[in-house]
Structure 1
Amino acid sequence: MRNFILLAAILSLAACGGYRKAARDVGPDRTTVIRVKPQPSAPGTTTAAIVPIRTASGPISRACMASDRKARSTTRCGCIQAVANDMLSSSDQRLAVSFYDDPHKAQVIRQSDNPRHETFWKAYSSYAEAAATACSGA
């Protein structure tokens, strides 16, 4: 059954031209890419569920793609940006982008006694956890 669902998802993506064409049809800010994620149903068996991955373009997505990280991809970076759009203000996103060029800056902000930095760090920590969860399979 799992193979059948996976085959159906692949064929439906192939019929529409793949996820890149579908992304162009939906729009640049919020697109949906489909992935198949195994779901435990009973001991010893699994079922598959189609889980949408939202993506977006923005400053974090561009910084992610410009980085030298091996795990970067347009889908993963777009997913991270979509989560950032939901959880971080535009000024918080600009500050987060600076961490790509200067990772030590994140440590400085985290340890700062500045109330603005403390507020930012709480929001950024929540965002990082949400992005890790939402984009782990992207």
Structure 2
Amino acid sequence: MRTFVLCAALALTSAPVFTTPAEAGVITRACMQSDRKAANRRLCSCIQYAANKTLTKADQRVASKFFKDPHKAQEIRQSDRSSHERFWLKYKQFGKTAEAYCS
């Protein structure tokens, strides 16, 4: 299963801007620093907006690491830890929300 981060960064290009640079969150910063060709301020801000609607700040810190190391997402998804299972359910909802807002 591909992580939302990879799909969104590759597939979405015309997201509205929801944050200013001063308001950029951890997801925006990770997205902008990623090596994804589709990453731009508008898309990354939109993904951050979806994260703000669906993930806690702690969850956002975890999810932001997926931009640099997508394998971390796979490790969490396959983990038997109940906290990872709860996170993954929220992360999947985040992906659906970001796709709806940003595509």
Please give the range of the TM-score, normalised by the shorter of the 2 chains. 0.7 to 0.9
Mapped pair 1:114 → 2:81: yes
> SS of the counterpart of 1:120?
helix
| Runs of 4+ residues over 3 Å off in structure 1 | none
Q: 1:128 aligns with which of 95, 98, 101?
A: 95
Contact 1:87 1:127 in 2 (8 A): yes
Task: Please identify the structure whose Cα radius of gyration is greater.
Answer: 1
Structure 2 runs not aligned, ≥5 long: 1-13
TM-score normalised according to structure 2 size: 0.78
Count of aligned pairs between the two proteins: 86
SS in 2 for 1:81: helix
- Considering only aligned residues, what root-mean-square deviation do their CA atoms show, in Å? 1.6
Identity across aligned pairs (percent)? Answer: 49
Return the alpha-carbon distance in structure 1 between the equivalents of residues 41 and 17 of structure 2.
Answer: 12
Q: Deviations over 1:54-107 (max 9, x none)?
A: 513200000000011111110110010011011100000000011111111100
CA contact (8 A) 1:61 1:77 kept: yes
Q: Give the counterpart letter for 1:81 in structure 2.
A: Q
* TM-score, L = length of structure 1: 0.59
